[in-house]
Amino acid sequence: MKYEVKGGSLPVLICQLEAGEQVVCESGAMSWMDDGIEMQTEGGGIGKVFGRMLSGEALFQNRYVAKQAGEIAFASKFPGSIVAYEVTPDKPVILQKTAYLASCGNVELSVYLQKKIGSGFFGGEGFIMQKVSGSGLVFAEIDGAAVDYVLQPGQRKIIDTGYLAVMDGTCSLDTQTVKGVKNALLGGEGLFNTVLTGPGRITLQTMPISKTALTLYGYMPHPSK
């Protein structure tokens, strides 16, 4: 399968399928396609449907199979980036909730629970994330621009709440308290930071939708009390 991402900060993933090739996406993600590509809606069992509900995805997935060569496109729901990640049996990929856009190959989407409860409640990435395993490609939606780092074994990166988009399954996630009462209360960064430890690739996003929503909320008119 050949693919390209167009549209700049309003991206769309365009896949060129040969006869017999297929691509999977969450329900409602397809934007346009050529004639000759057929859709098959599937749930994959109650467990998988429930897992997708917990991770913030649509309850069902659509599988698009090319009966003849053609094009299919998936547009991002929010200004940002669409990034491809290779998934191998020894290297699963962990995504933030709602980041999954589409995939091809023999990959499986499941729930990823933070091993440490504190990381889930205070790290800002959520107690529940998404795990993509198997062998193939997964395409993820990134809020804003995507910035990649490759962490060496034991190397750490400290990030503010919400800026983690994707990490290799070999990385670990934890939280640390902002040091100093004045820093915590007056620094504007909150009480906790997320700590990522290598080895593995991480992708950070420059415009988390949660922070964007709070910013826009401040400009909205509010009814008088």
Q: What is the DSSP letter of 45?
A: -
Q: What is the DSSP letter of 69?
A: S
What's the rounded Cα separation, in Å, for the pair 105 and 108?
Answer: 9
What's the rounded Cα separation, in Å, for the pair 20 and 64?
Answer: 10
Helix (H) / strand (E) element for 195: namely strand 192-197
Label residue 120 by pLDDT band (50, 70, 90).
very low
pLDDT reading at 149 higher than 50: yes
| 1-26: burial string, b at 16+ Cβ within 10 Å, e else | eebebeeeeebbbbbebeeebbbbbb
Q: How many CB atoms lie within 10 A of CB 219?
A: 6
Of 15-19, 34-38, 188-192, give the lowest mean pLDDT range: 188-192
Q: HEC profile for 119-168?
A: HHHHCCCCCEEEEEEEEEEEEEEEECCEEEEEECCCCEEEECCCCEEEEE
CATH code of the domain made up of 2-212 = 3.60.160.10
* Domain ranges within the chain, ordered by starting residue: 2-212
| Beta-carbon contacts of residue 62 (< 8 Å; ≥ 6 apart) | 24, 25, 26, 27, 29, 30, 39, 40, 41, 42
Which tokens hold the place of 120?
């889930």
* pLDDT single digits (tens) 23-65: 999 888 899 999 999 999 876 544 554 554 554 555 578 999 9
What whole-number percentage of the chain has pLDDT above 70?
78
What's the rounded Cα separation, in Å, for the pair 160 and 195?
Answer: 9
Bin 21: left if φ > 0, else alpha if -120 < ψ < 50, else beta: beta
Of 28-42, 60-74, 173-187, give the lowest mean pLDDT range: 173-187
The CA R_g of the chain, rounded to the nearest whole Å, is 19
What's the rounded Cα separation, in Å, for the pair 202 and 199?
Answer: 9
